[in-house]
Structure 1
Amino acid sequence: MGLIRKWNQLSLVKQILIGLIIGIILAVTIPAVAKPFTILGSLFVSALKGIAPVLVFFLVMSAIAQHKSGQKTNMKSIIVLYLLGTFLAGLVAVIVSFIFPVTLTLPKSTENLTAPGGVVEVLKTLLLNIVDNPVKAIFNANYIGILAWAILLGLALKKAPDTTKTMISNFSDALSKIVTWVIKFAPFGIMGLVIDSITANGLRSLIGYGKLLAVLIGCMLFVAFVVNPIIVYVCARQNPFPLVFKCLKESGITAFFTRSSAANIPVNMKLCEKLGLDKDSYSVSIPLGATINMAGAAVTISVLTLAAVHTLNIEVDIPTAIILSILSAICACGASGVAGGSLLLIPLACSLFGIPNDVAMTVVGVGFIVGVLQDSCETALNSSTDVLFTATAEFRKRRLEGQKTAMKQAVKKAI
């Protein structure tokens, strides 16, 4: 009992780090004995994925239904930040790929995968997802559809009796409580995920792709520690690094191991609540961010596309490179919030340079080889940035409101 009390006194991040270290030690020293513990990782991710769609549906519906007329949210600012961050990430990846060009040894065969035929097809899929059957959307974790139906039902329930709104709010609170119970098992889940990753893939297969991984992860780190802090400072006019580090520590770590932006939605919701953010905003912005805020995906698409370009000795001019940045951002917004979701959009970007689809799909195969680290880092950047930009928009709003209040007080004193 004393040991349990000491364990509960530790912060969740410290508990996760302990689980991480134990998982690495077990996987390296006694992999055969450790392998059964991989079930903990599967259970943890499945629980998060299971609760997230229902949680998002009730949270958004409750927030919209109880939203009072005249009460402002930050959704416009948040969406602008999402799109700006994704575009800048793609632009950084293009610039770095020109400074440190990477060539690939393309495998002769790849997995039997089918990629979208064009940007129009991606956008068509997104639109069809919006009008998906609501029950089917929840079942398949189609967050665009879940958001659309939750917003419509929320608007329809704005004039409903208070008892109905209270019932929906109670459901929302109950689901949030279940999420806190699931997150308490994060240290054990991550221990299982680490054991599974090391025993199944190892790190030897990544040695041959060291330079490609260095460029991919280097771009993501630059976006996380340079580009994003600049965006936060310009908007909020405060030291950005405490917020950046908090988001990476409390959201990025779990996202790194779950490798799913969708599975990390409950974790991000909890962090937003901890930061004291407006529930009306983050209940919509977090699930939306898991769909369209894809800076890491933009980096992956740009770097792997230009790696194929360099391998085939294709000349690229500056205007085409800028178009690639825009295209990678659009493609990234269409990436699904699951492991490896961005890789199937690489052929779209490759088509910009006239690269045949069969060659592009071999590049996708390379993406799956390096995906052990690439996809984990990508998801950590994507998911942690959802909270970062949601918080940034709110801090900007508070700063502007504070300036208005100070100005009014100054005018009153002058009068």
Structure 2
Amino acid sequence: MPISRVNSRLSEVGTSIFAEMSALAAETGSINLGQGFPDTDGPAEIAGAAADAILSGRGNQYPPGPGIPELREAVSDHQKRFYGIDVDPGAEVLVTAGATEAIAASLLALIEPGDEVIAFEPTYDSYAACVAMAGGTHVPVTLHPPGFRPDMAALRAAVTPRTRILLLNSPHNPTGMVLTREELAAIAGLAVERDLLVISDEVYEHLVFGVEHIPVSTLPGMRERTLTISSAGKTFSFTGWKVGWATGPAPLVAAARTAKQFLTYVSSGPFQYAVAEALKLPDSYFNGLRQDLLAKRDLLADGLRSAGFEVYPPDGTYFITTGIRGLGEEDGLEFCRALPGRCAVAAIPNQVFYEAPQAEARGLVRFTFCKKTEVLTEAVRRLGALAGPAAA
């Protein structure tokens, strides 16, 4: 495709907004509830496993292209342990430089110029960019507040003879929506009927609150047409290690591997050994993670409501989407640019996650709650200033 079109599309997806908001947070001494990364590291024993791998010389040179056998085996065991999915670690697991590379490699491998890729919007910002780089056409189907549930009629209407892939994200960033079994069944039925491939981004699979995460690949007819993507960053709070993976039928994994070898080739050698150990952690770790984040979700949600935001509580992820019109605001971008100066807290405007944001989207702002409890408590105190002196 013309490079001008790629550059144009990449300039629209809002990545610079994340850098801008983080810079504003640093300049103003604000609490950064914009970008989604924890302010504490993951389990000490997993960090120790990475250090041991480095010091013992494991992974310091190029690891195998598909990933070290230990990690591919651990990913296979994880899929069986949590979802009853049988995955061949030799042919059906590909280790990548985070989930973002897995998404990019999958799209580059599986679509031809002009093919259409449908995704629910708001969308994680790399989706549209990767589709553009692959020469495809991104087709958004909008989720609307307050529930951000998928409109199955709109999804069906979006499918054309050029549609190649449904790109799913559940639990969904930025809204926190988690697809139900009924919704997944309807999506699966459409995929089978129209012979579509599915790329399923499930990086927040263990960050769900009172609902069940169901991999779409477990539904009838989906095993052979689905690439499932996840990563260690969100589950184990080591986002800087950039260790992700794709699992699925051997032909789809092989296609993604072919594209991946011309992206990073390999990455994160010693960290792969550590993530292999992390995936073996007991159920108590995963349950504790959910309980901790649930308490933080509720703490921030209550504070945002008290400050005058309309809060749309998430069922998953570590993000909260809010409405700002109750504060007398209409434009999320302007609001977020002013917020650090008003109360020393930074957030992200949801409109950067839309193809062409309408008025509804411009009134939405995203906060993250993957921070220390004392940090969130202070952020809530500061946000209280927006409600006026009486509330503060």
With the length of structure 1 as denominator, give the TM-score of the two structures.
0.25
Between structure 1 and structure 2, the one with the greater Rg is 1
Task: From the two aligned structures, give the one with the greater strand fraction.
Answer: 2
With the length of structure 2 as denominator, give the TM-score of the two structures.
0.26
Task: From the two aligned structures, give the one with the greater helix fraction.
Answer: 1
